[in-house]
């Protein structure tokens, strides 16, 4: 079974730009969660989508948004990028609720 894939793997943007990251979950998984990982704040939950509906949202500004498509693929978008948005963005897929989560390799975003 193919694992979780994320594209692109690396991204360099400048302040004020916007970015879209993509995540393809494991086949059959309907839940996709997004996390931001930084050295200072650790792993922080952004949001979770289940069957195209956002089920939960973390404490991030409205510049962070996401969506999920009917094939369970998910995208997250960050608008008006700030230097502090530089981070590793991880997505994780899960078969149901309260099960193990399978993480993708992440997208390393650098904002200059």
List residues near other proteins by CB under 8 A: 4, 31, 33, 35, 42-45, 48, 50, 55-56, 58, 90, 92, 94, 97-106
- Considering the complex, what minimum distance in angstroms separates the CB of residue 86 from other proteins? 16
- Considering the complex, what minimum distance in angstroms separates the CB of residue 77 from other proteins? 19
- Cα torsion angle, 73, 82, 54, 47, sign: positive
Q: Looking at beta carbons only, is 4 or 87 nearer to other proteins?
A: 4
Q: Looking at beta carbons only, is 7 or 14 nearer to other proteins?
A: 7
Q: Could you give the C-alpha distances from 13 to 8, 10, 24, 61, 86, in angstroms and in order?
A: 13, 10, 22, 19, 9
Q: Looking at beta carbons only, is 14 or 97 nearer to other proteins?
A: 97
Q: Could you give the C-alpha distances from 29 to 38, 48, 100, in angstroms and in order?
A: 26, 13, 11
């Amino acid at each position: 079974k193919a694992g979780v894939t994320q594209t692109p793997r690396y991204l360099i943007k400048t302040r004020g730009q916007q970015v879209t990251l993509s995540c393809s979950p494991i086949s059959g998984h309907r839940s996709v969660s997004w996390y931001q990982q930084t050295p200072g704040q650790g792993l922080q939950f952004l949001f979770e989508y289940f069957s195209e509906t956002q089920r939960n949202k973390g404490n991030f500004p409205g510049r962070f948004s996401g969506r999920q498509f009917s094939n369970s693929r998910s995208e997250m978008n960050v608008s008006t990028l700030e230097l502090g948005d530089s981070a590793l963005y991880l997505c994780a897929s899960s078969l149901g609720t309260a099960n193990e989560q399978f993480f993708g390799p992440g997208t390393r975003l650098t904002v200059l």
